[in-house]
Structure 1
Amino acid sequence: MKKVSVLILAFFGIACQSKAKENKAVTAQTNQPIKMNTQDGMEVATFAGGCFWCTEAIFLELDGVKSVVSGYTGGARPNPTYEQVSSGATGHAEATEITFDPAKISFGELLEVFFATHDPTTLNRQGNDIGTQYRSEIFYHSNAQKQTAEDYIAQLTAAKTYSNPIVTKVSPAVAFYPAENYHQNYYNQNKGQSYCHYVITPKVKKVREHFKDKLKK
C-alpha cells in the first residue's frame, strides 16, 4: 500500500450529545441488522470514529461510495435505540456502513480519509463527545481489510504521524443496526443546525480541499 499523508482536521468544542434534545419529537424506530451486500462488485466498510453525522457526511462526498448508513455496531444489545446507545451501556459504537465500488476507490483510500477526519489517539472520545459509543474502531469484513487496516496503522505509527499512540481498534464486523431515520443523511438536511455548522461543515470543506481527486463529480 502506497504511503499517504494524513491531515489532522480541526475539532470544535460542541458535543453531538445535544442531538437527542434537538430531536425530541422524533419517535425511535426498532431497527433490524443490515446484511452485507456485495452484489455488482460492491464492497462494504464499517468505521466508527465519533459522531456518525460527521463520518456519514464526509464519506458521502467520495466518488465510488454508493451509500452510507449511520448506525450502531460492536455491542451486544439487539435492535438498540439512540437513547440506549447514548447511555454507554449497550457496548455499541456510533458507526457508518459504507458501500463502495473498489474499482473507483479502494479500502485503503477510505482509511486515508477516515484517519484524516478524526483523532485516533483519544480513547472513547472525539472532542466534546465522550463515551465508548464515540470510540475509534474499524470493523473489517474480510481478512484483506483486516490486514490493510493493521498495516496502515503500523505505517502511521512508524511515521510518528501523531504525538500520542493510536488507540483505534481493528475488530471483525458484527451485526450493524441502522440508526433512526432522522439520523440518516442528517448533515445535508440540517446544515443550519449548530453542530453541523460549527463541526461538520469545516470537516467537509477540508475534505473537499485536500481530497479533490477523490470527490464525486
Structure 2
Amino acid sequence: MVDEVATLAGGCFWCTEAVYQNLKGVKAVESGYIGGTVPDPTYEQVCSGATGHAEAIRITYDPAVISYADLLDIFFATHDPTTLNRQGNDVGTQYRSAIFPRSAEQEAQARAGIERAQTDRSSPVVTTIEPDAPWYRAEDYHQKYWDRMGDRNPYCMAVIPPKLAKLRKGFAERIDA
C-alpha cells in the first residue's frame, strides 16, 4: 500500500508534532505553514498573524498500519478543538484548529471525525475543514523540536507532557515502543 499524507493544524506545531512522531505507521512528521496568502512565509511572518497561515504538521503514514480516522481521533483527543483561533496561551489565526484534506475521501472522514469529537464535548467543536493549499516547510530549527529542545523550553514542558499523557491514556496501542 502507498503511503498517504494528512495535514492538521492544532495550535503550536512543536506540540502537535510531538504527539504524532512516535506512532506506529507514521513514517514522518514535518512542521510547516499552510492556508495563507504569502508565498514561502517565515516563522516571524506567520507569528504576526498577517499571512493567514496556520502552524501545521504534515504526517506521512502507512494506511495499512494507522488510518486517517485514527489520526483524526488522536488529533481531537490531544488538543482543544472548541477554542476559536486559540490553544492555551497561543492566540491568533495561526493557532487555529483545522484539517486540510487532500481528497474527497479525506474530507468526508474529516467531517465524520468532527462529528465523533462533538459527541464527547458540551462546547461546539470549531475545527474548520479548509481546502488543501500550498505547503511550506518550516525552518529547520522547528523540525523535531520536542526531541531536540523540549526539555529546555518551559513552554514545551508545560504543554507537551499533558498531550503525551492523553495520547498514552487513550491510544497506548498506537504508540511505537
Establish whether residue 193 from structure 1 lines up as the match of residue 150 from structure 2. no
Paired residue for 2:15? 54
Report the 3-state secondary structure (helix = DSSP H, G, I; strand = E; otherwise coil) of the residue aligned with 1:197: helix
Paired residue for 2:61? 100
Normalised by the size of structure 2, how large is the TM-score? 0.95
Report the 3-state secondary structure (helix = DSSP H, G, I; strand = E; otherwise coil) of the residue aligned with 2:70: helix
Rounded to whole Å, the distance in 2 between the matches of 1:45 and 1:206 is 21
Paired residue for 2:45? 84
Normalised by the size of structure 1, how large is the TM-score? 0.78
Paired residue for 1:43? 4
Report the 3-state secondary structure (helix = DSSP H, G, I; strand = E; otherwise coil) of the residue aligned with 1:211: helix
* Greater per-residue helix proportion: 2
Which of 167, 170, 175 matches 1:207?
167
Which of 132, 138, 142 matches 2:93?
132
Stretches of structure 2 that go unaligned for 5 or more consecutive residues are: none
> Letter of the aligned partner of 2:158 in structure 1?
Y
Rounded to whole Å, the distance in 2 between the matches of 1:42 and 1:153 is 24
Rounded to whole Å, the distance in 1 between the matches of 2:116 and 2:31 is 28
Larger Rg: 1
Q: State the number of aligned residues.
A: 176
Deviation at 1:162, TM superposition (A): 1.4
Deviation at 1:156, TM superposition (A): 3.2
After TM superposition, the structure 1 = structure 2 runs for residues 158-197 of structure 1, keeping only pairs within 5 Å, are 159=119, 161-190=120-149, 191-197=151-157
CA RMSD, Structure 1 to Structure 2 (Å):
1.1
Q: Moved runs in structure 1, 4+ residues, more than 3 A?
A: none
Rounded to whole Å, the distance in 2 between the matches of 1:132 and 1:153 is 19
Report the 3-state secondary structure (helix = DSSP H, G, I; strand = E; otherwise coil) of the residue aligned with 1:201: helix
Rounded to whole Å, the distance in 2 between the matches of 1:100 and 1:50 is 21
